[in-house]
Amino acid sequence: MAENRDKMAALLVLQALFPLLKVVMGDNRKIKSKFEGVKGKVQFIARDSDGDIGACLVFDNGKLEVVHGVIENPDITFEFANIKRMVKMLGGKPALFRLRGIRNIGLLLKLLALLMNLTLLMPAAKPKDPEKKRLKVKLSIYMMAAALSKYNKLGDPEINAWTEKQPERIYQFSVSGEEDIAAYLRVKAGKTQAGPGLYSRRKPFVHMKFRGVDEALPILVNDINMVKAVEQGYLALEGSPEYSRDIGNFLIRIQGLVMG
């Protein structure tokens, strides 16, 4: 039986991080071209006495769907003996797993090229290429909103208590001058919803606005903390300072949970 911490980390990756692969396929032309005309299903599964967990990546001619759970007859399967091993591997650390479907070498190589883009989310990743810089920032901002919402839905007691006492509020993340690099978290009486873009129906209760892609990078790789980022004009925090701090603390906890 997996520890609750490991299970939560695995579900955060499968349900909040894997959907970001759609963003990669939409923004990375080289990766998108690899999957044109490709159909295939790639299953990730971790065994557990309380019930196996997993997700399947379904490719269909350049499109990707992330299916939660375990499906029948995948073309490739990454099978882990326990959830802890899955968390280690998906967090960028070496871990043993069983690979089924090795004969589908073409699909496997394309998949590995796609998954490599998720390493941009790691704090140690400091890309120099402008397109990779932009993708790192976009993935990071989408991940912030998605992970916070999923963390609440998975039942962390502290974020549950934090969301339960709030009326409808919008927490917005964005980069100035980059309309497609934005995501929001909607909170209302314990429930949360994350989405891409700028929320238009309500003024943000908190808005974390990065001055630009280059200014966002040192914050995302932990070269500069949020206080100094605000002082130097890299980041504008509009709205409640207290709740901005809470958001930052929850994001640090999520990063520690997933990255170990």
pLDDT digits 0-9 by tens, 91-120: 878 889 999 998 999 999 999 999 999 999
Is the predicted pLDDT of residue 2 greater than 60, yes or no?
no
The residue out of 121, 155, 175 marking a domain boundary is 121
Q: Is the domain of 220 the same as that of 247? A: yes
CB atoms < 10 A from the CB of 153, how many? 18
Percent of the chain with pLDDT over 70: 98
- What's the confidence (pLDDT) of residue 260? 64
Tell whether the model's pLDDT for residue 174 goes beyond 80.
Answer: yes
Residue 125, class by beta-carbon neighbours within 10 Å (0-12 exposed, 13-18 middle, 19+ buried)?
middle
The pLDDT of residue 225:
86
* pTM more than 0.85: yes
Is 144 found in the same domain as 111?
no
Among residues 59, 191, 55, 217, the alpha carbon closest in space to that of 136 is found at 217
> Which domain-ending residue is among 73, 96, 121?
121
pLDDT above 90 for 140: yes
pLDDT at 184 over 70: yes
Task: List, in order, residues 6 or more apart from 230 with CB less than 8 Å away.
Answer: 236, 237
Adjacent-strand bridge partners of 39: 60
Same domain for 149 and 176, yes or no, is yes
Specify whether 223 is located in the same domain as 105: no
Is residue 259 scored above 80 in pLDDT? no
| Same domain flag for 143 and 252 | yes
Together in a domain, 140 and 252: yes
Structural domain range at position 222:
130-259
Question: Does residue 153 sit in the same domain as residue 234?
Answer: yes
Is the domain of 159 the same as that of 100?
Answer: no
34-67 pLDDT per residue, tens = 999 999 999 999 999 889 999 999 999 999 999 9
Check whether residue 83 and residue 179 sit in a common domain: no
CATH of the domain at 67: 3.30.1050.10
List the strands of the sheet with 191-196, edge to edge.
191-196, 178-188, 169-175, 206-210, 235-239
Q: Is residue 136 domain-shared with residue 252, that is, in the same domain? A: yes
Domain boundary among 73, 92, 121: 121
Give the count of domains, the chain. 2
Residues 176, 181, 186, 191, CA torsion sign: negative
- Asked whether residue 75 falls in the same domain as residue 136, the answer is no
Integer Cα distance of 170 and 183 in angstroms: 10
Do 51 and 115 sit in the same domain of this protein?
yes
pLDDT of the residue at 257: 86
Which residues, including other chains, have CB under 8 Å from residue 11's CB and lie 6 or more apart? 53, 150, 154
pLDDT for res 227: 87
